[in-house]
Amino acid sequence: MEKNQKIFWGWYIVGGAFLVMGMNYGSRYCFGVFLKPMATEFGMSRSVISLAAAINMLVYSFCAIFVGRMLDRVAPRWIITTGAFIAACGYIMTGFVQTPLGLYVSYGLMVGLGAAGMGVVACSSSVSKWFIKKRGLAVGIASMGISLGTVMLTPLAGYIAGAFNWRFGLMALSFIILMMGVFVSQTLMRKTNPEAYGLLPDGDKTTYSHQLPETKSVHRVSTLTLFKDSRFWTLAICQGLAVMISMSVFVHQVAYATDMGIDKMAAAASLAAISFTGFIGQFLFGWMTDRIKDPKYVSFTGITFMLAGTTLMLNVQSVFNLYVCALVYGFGYGSLAPVLPLLIADRFGRHVLGSIYGLLTFFIGVGGAIGPVLGGFIYDRFGSYHYLWLINIFVLSCIALAILTLKKGKQYLPT
């Protein structure tokens, strides 16, 4: 019966990953909307509040190591269901916090732990295992959920925070995560990989030549072996710094815009503007990787757009300026989620994608944890975000050049 179904099950995995990543990352990126109200209510500096987002990223990235390992052996639905339940509890707890310590435990620890089970490691790795020749398109479509979720949830969170309060907004997010997370994972993310069900990647009926590189020249891999591979460190450092910049933008852009005299709702909507073109970018960059010989050139293009948008951020004086920056930056940001798993599969092989993605995510998360705290520290030290944008411009320039040095090499099988 499995072989005769009209729709290849891989596309159900794509749909499930799209929805899960949408609500997961859309909810997490709402933190920037709540930053200023939290700081005002607690009477704390922005760097102190931002530490919660940093802890969230560290917990998320550390747990991603284990998520990646489990994903090579366990059906994704159980990982995602568990993550949704833990994250929902974390958002509920955050809505009742009275101190920064409570915020660190609830949002930093609980939401970070739950988000790891619903993150790109679980979702993009699951999608990549079902496709080879259409992998770029499939991962690109799934990654679009990140932007759509942010487009929908950040303005909603901004409205709820303005009409009611930030605590009520977090309670609403907890409900969305729990209901959607459990339902989607149990219906669409039930299966591990096509071979386990007598299927071939892409829904092919016979093995074609484009599948041969997946099984040729492969070597079993250990963590120590990866740590000796320069390609691993190139990806870890570049993606870690890129996520550092992304998190600094998502956490501090709304506060930066309101400091410049822009209305709170318009400022919150600028995150949606990033995600709007990110939505387009995630599809186009994923599509491009199926047509360009080496995905590192696609990654380079995306980083270049991020660099251009960040440069424009230095001179924001109106809502129009803010949205132009957000739209340009967002398009480039759209390359991060779909291209990384494709780079991993291209360099290391799809059979160890989950494990390597999980390890990379730990190092990526360390960079991501620095972003919010760095932005808060710079604001507290200088009274503006000007130097944050200058640092981001320099770092993005270095990333773009480093990506071009990424070489191909041997591929691996899981131990």
pLDDT in tens, 259-313: 888 887 788 788 778 878 988 998 899 889 888 888 999 999 999 999 999 999 8
113/108 Cα distance (integer angstroms): 8
Around Cβ 369, how many Cβ atoms within 10 Å? 26
Other beta carbons within 10 angstroms of residue 391's beta carbon come to 16
Highest mean pLDDT among 15-29, 73-87, 192-206, 389-403: 389-403
SS3 285: helix
Q: Is residue 4 part of a domain?
A: no
Predicted pLDDT at 210: 46
Identity (one letter) of the amino acid at 100? P
Q: Report the distance separating Cα 74 and Cα 78, nearest Å.
A: 8
Instruction: List the CATH number of the domain containing 306.
Output: 1.20.1250.20
pLDDT reported for residue 3: 47
Kindly state whether residue 208 falls inside one of the protein's structural domains: no
pLDDT (0 to 100) of residue 415:
56
Q: Which of 129, 170, 155 is nearest to 17 (CA)?
A: 129
Whether 412 is covered by a domain: the verdict is no
Q: Using CA atoms, how far apart are residues 321 and 126, in angstroms rounded to an integer? A: 39
Residues 6+ apart with CB under 8 A from 264: 158, 162, 254, 258
- Amino acid identity at 219: H
Domain presence at residue 326 = yes
Both tokens of residue 102? 């409570």
Mean pLDDT score across all residues of the chain: 84
In a domain, 209, yes or no: no
Give a yes or no: residue 211 inside a domain.
no
Q: Indicate whether 210 belongs to any domain.
A: no
Using the predicted structure, report yes or no on whether residue 332 has a pLDDT greater than 90: yes
CA–CA dist 356, 62 (Å, integer):
13
Q: Measured in whole angstroms, how far is the alpha carbon of residue 241 from the centre of its chain?
A: 13
H/E stretch holding 139 reads helix 135-163
> Tell me: the pLDDT tens digits for 207-266?
544 444 444 444 456 777 778 888 999 999 999 999 999 989 888 888 888 888 888 778
Helices (H), 206-318: 223-227, 230-259, 264-289, 295-312
- Percent of the chain whose predicted confidence (pLDDT) is above 70: 93
The DSSP code sequence of 291-305 is TSS-HHHHHHHHHHH
Structurally, the chain folds into a number of domains equal to 1
For the residues 33-52, what does the mean pLDDT come to?
82
Q: Domain range holding 108?
A: 9-196+216-406
Question: Could you tell me the pLDDT band of residue 144, with boundaries at 50, 70 and 90?
Answer: confident
pLDDT band at 5 (very low <50, low <70, confident <90, very high): low
- Distance from C-alpha of 344 to C-alpha of 341, rounded to nearest angstrom: 5
* Position with higher pLDDT, 327 vs 282: 327
pTM, two decimal places:
0.72
Of 72 and 158, which is predicted with more confidence?
A: 158
353: pLDDT strictly greater than 90? no
Average pLDDT over residues 191-212: 69
Tell me the CB-side half-sphere exposure of residue 322, using CA atoms within 13 A: 25
411 is a domain residue: no
Residue 218, classed as helix, strand or coil, is strand
| Residue partners of 163: CB distance under 8 A and separation at least 6 | none
DSSP notation for 34-79? HHHHHHHHHT--HHHHHHHHHHHHHHHHHHHHHHHHHHTTS-HHHH
pLDDT (average), residues 323-340: 91
Provide, for the chain, the percentages of residues in helix, strand and coil under a 3-state DSSP scheme, each rounded to the nearest 5: 80, 0, 20
pLDDT of residue 237: 94
Q: Evaluate if residue 38 carries a pLDDT over 90.
A: no
- Tokens 């994972």 found at: 185
Element (H, E) at 412: strand 411-413
Location of structure tokens 């186009």? 284
